[in-house]
Amino acid sequence: MADPEETYQCQTVNCGCIYDPDRGDRKGKIPNGTQFKNMPDEWCCPVCGAGKKMFKSLAGPGSVKEEQE
């Protein structure tokens, strides 16, 4: 299972989609094992269509967890 630092959550009001590199994104044709940083810049959230900039890591510097503390 991916570490929280490698797992990203979409930070839009209506979405909450989590990108897990272990699963990839079948809809976006991102293969399993692809780290978020290695995904194409034009990739969008499969749920709400938000761009990569709307995603934040679940742990580590600048992460969702850090903002909640």
C-alpha to C-alpha distance for 54 and 19, rounded to whole angstroms: 12
Tokens of 17: 């989609």
Q: What is the mean pLDDT of each run of 10 residues along the chain (69 residues)?
A: 78 82 92 93 93 85 66
Domains of the chain in sequence order: 1-69 (2.20.28.10)
C-alpha to C-alpha distance for 69 and 67, rounded to whole angstroms: 6
* AA letter at 48: C
Predicted TM-score (pTM) of this structure: 0.77
Integer Rg of the chain from CA: 11
List, in sequence order, every residue forming a beta bridge with 8; answer none if it has no partner. 19, 57
The pLDDT assigned to 9 comes to 79
The pLDDT assigned to 64 comes to 63
**Residue among 66, 67, 63 nearest 8 (CA):** 63
The pLDDT assigned to 56 comes to 86
